[in-house]
């Protein structure tokens, strides 16, 4: 009977250790896929619809704050039209850039090109200046600094027994 309890305890302990380490393993797999530009492997760990929506929300909030009506635009119908067009453009830009290649560049702290061309050379800088931590039981955050020292975040959320990248928080300077 004691042997059975010991084995059960070891199995539970091993499971808990695996659950604690699993987001780090997922980040390592994402990093490896990004460095080798393996878009198929990268796609397995990213929930693209959630990432796109989080970026669209951030860009729309940023544009709304910069386009707040002042004395010169108050009551101007063209200001509202401009805000609507900017929102549509932001959505299209996010849809174009949130690709495995684009996310690989962001993870390396690089800026995206205007044409979002994929650089074929292997990038060893991916997640080099980063910190990783649990924000909650089901949320894991990777902070990354770009060339200018601005800090972005990659947010992974638990999906079943695994983890998926669900949000990218970009610096809004």
Tens of pLDDT, residue by residue, the chain (173 residues):
689 999 999 999 999 999 899 999 999 998 888 888 788 888 899 999 999 999 888 888 887 777 666 666 666 667 667 767 777 777 887 877 788 777 777 776 666 665 544 444 444 555 666 889 999 999 999 998 877 778 889 999 999 989 999 999 988 76
Helix 2-35 with 100-107: angle, nearest 10 deg: 100
Query: How many separate domains does the chain show?
Result: 1
pTM: 0.75
Closest Cα to residue 63, out of 101, 42, 94? 94
pLDDT at 122: 45
Neighbouring residues of 150: CB distance < 8 A, sequence distance ≥ 6: 171, 173
* Per-residue model confidence (pLDDT) at position 120: 46
- Helix, strand, coil percentages for the chain (3-state, nearest 5): 50, 20, 30
Structure confidence at residue 134 (pLDDT)? 96
Look up tokens 């084995």; give the residue: 7
Among 56, 76, 93, 71, which Cα is nearest to 102's?
93
* Cβ-based neighbour number of residue 168 at 10 Å: 23
Residue 49 structural domain: 2-169
């Amino acid at each position: 009977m004691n042997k059975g309890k010991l084995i059960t305890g070891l199995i539970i302990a091993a499971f808990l250790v695996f659950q604690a380490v699993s987001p780090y393993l997922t980040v390592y797999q994402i990093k490896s896929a990004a460095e080798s530009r393996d878009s198929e492997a990268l796609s397995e760990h990213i929930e693209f619809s959630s990432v796109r929506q989080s970026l669209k929300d951030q860009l729309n909030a940023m544009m709304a704050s910069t386009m707040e009506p002042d004395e010169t635009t108050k009551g101007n119908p063209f200001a509202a039209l401009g805000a609507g067009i900017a929102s549509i453009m932001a959505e299209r830009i996010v849809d174009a850039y949130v690709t495995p290649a684009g996310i690989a560049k962001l993870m390396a702290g690089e800026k995206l090109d205007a044409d979002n061309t994929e650089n074929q050379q292997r990038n060893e800088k991916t997640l080099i200046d980063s910190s990783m931590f649990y924000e909650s039981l089901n949320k894991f955050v990777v902070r990354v600094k770009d060339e200018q020292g601005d800090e972005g975040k990659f947010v992974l959320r638990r999906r079943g027994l695994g983890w998926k990248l669900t949000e990218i928080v970009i610096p809004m300077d």
